[in-house]
Amino acid sequence: MSERGNLTGEHGSADPWPPSGEMWPPAPPSPAGPPSRRPGNGGSTFQPRTGSKFALRRLGVLVLVLALVGTGVWWFGIRDDGPSVADPAPVEQLELQAWAPYWTLEHSVPQFERRSMYFSEVSPFWFQAAGVDQIRADPNAPEGRTRQFLRAARAAEIPIVPSIVDATGAGGMANILASEGQRRRHVDAIVRFVERGDFDGVDLDYESFAFADGRDTWATTRPNWVTFIEELSGKLHAADKTLTVSIPPVFDGERTDESGYWVYDYAAITPLVDHIRVMAYDYSTTEPGPIAPIDWVRSAAEGTADVSGDPSKLVLGLPIYGYNWPTETQGTCPPDDPNTGRTTINLRTLYELLDRRGVADPTFVEETGESRFTYELTIGEGDTQCTQTRRVHFVDDVGAQLRLEIAKENGFGGVALWAFGFENGKVWDRLVPSLVKAPG
């Protein structure tokens, strides 16, 4: 593993994204229209919807930014490779975004009534780009609950910006973007998806470039990706829709092995998009270790802020989950038992696990800003029985707050939960004082 860490996987989820599924049917019309947007300069100038909670939330952020500019604490430097922030102005309050996976809807939907005033947007996480023209729902996503989620979000007047995951396989999306004709068809497919669903925008979670295609493809993919974002943002903004991208971080403006995921070209796409969600987590995936060690997250925040040139568009992904690894095994485990390998936990289910395994208190590790604990687990019976020593690393409410402070220190515009439905009450208690809240 590079000292920069490993960000493999999709948002820390072990859930598969199978290559089959039905086309997504149009969602019912929203009771309120999408935010208005003025095209021009990449369509990045925001015009809030008058009188809505969304508009007032944005207005508060705008006033804060203007105040910072007026006092001279926000200033930009010049770099040969594009605009750069010399010293990002710290902010006091951040917008909150969240990915909402289909497997947490039973727990996330009821939270809307209590927490809706803190969300600037939510991203249903159950859509796939399966080809040039096909955007579909994951076949595992329960139709009843997904529709219930959309209705609840609309009733709460939270902008809905669904995530689309690249399900084309290794090299598939890179090949689509390399063809002018296919790229434009894909742009049109995304715009149709957004308009037919009456969504407020879209979040692109195209991770294959980073984790499946190989670094030797990045130099070729990078300009095609930028052209794609330019074309898509133009069409979405002309239709009063927003564009968010969720991508792993960079650590500097170079293109070395230590620079991070430079294939996504932060400097070029920042002026074109509304938000970039920085996926600064999944540091350890194949071997036991921290989820998002705090110094690594700080380096990611500093690097993306500098390279992007506009950290106010950056949204730091906050992991509120953990991984549970076997570290030692005695005996013969049952074959194909999923509990014998790495599993995923979240904060909502954490304390049940602690009680079940007789763990008193996890250990908070200052060096990583995370917690961990170990326990013994016996699996199977008879000839196929084993006893494992298992170690859990996770980011708790304190860790989430530490990472939120990093976002504030680097002038980020917001934070995003991975994932809505993973959190417990302690997370809300820690984060709420630093979140922009809609009046009313």
DSSP per residue, 297-354 = HHHHHHHHHHHHS-GGGEEEEEE-EEEEEEEEEEE-PPTT-GGGS-EEEEHHHHHHHH
Element (H, E) at 82: strand 82-85
Tell whether omega for the bond before 419 is within 30 degrees of 0, i.e. cis.
yes
* Confidence at residue 440, expressed as pLDDT on a 0 to 100 scale: 59
Half-sphere exposure of 353 (CA within 13 A, CB side): 23
* CA dist., res. 333 & res. 24, Å (int): 41
| 353: CB partners within 8 A, 6+ apart | 324, 345, 359, 392
Q: What is the CA radius of gyration of the chain?
A: 21
* CA dist., res. 67 & res. 417, Å (int): 28
Under-70 pLDDT residues of the chain:
1-87, 440
* Confidence at residue 309, expressed as pLDDT on a 0 to 100 scale: 97
Is 0.85 topped by the overall pTM?
no
Supply angle C-alpha 286, 289, 295, rounded to 5. Answer: 120
* Confidence at residue 43, expressed as pLDDT on a 0 to 100 scale: 29
* Confidence at residue 11, expressed as pLDDT on a 0 to 100 scale: 47
* Confidence at residue 32, expressed as pLDDT on a 0 to 100 scale: 31
* Confidence at residue 258, expressed as pLDDT on a 0 to 100 scale: 97
Neighbours of 405 (CB within 10 A): 14
* Confidence at residue 438, expressed as pLDDT on a 0 to 100 scale: 80
Task: Let me know: does 123 contact 99? Beta carbons within 8 Å.
Answer: yes
Neighbours of 136 (CB within 10 A): 19
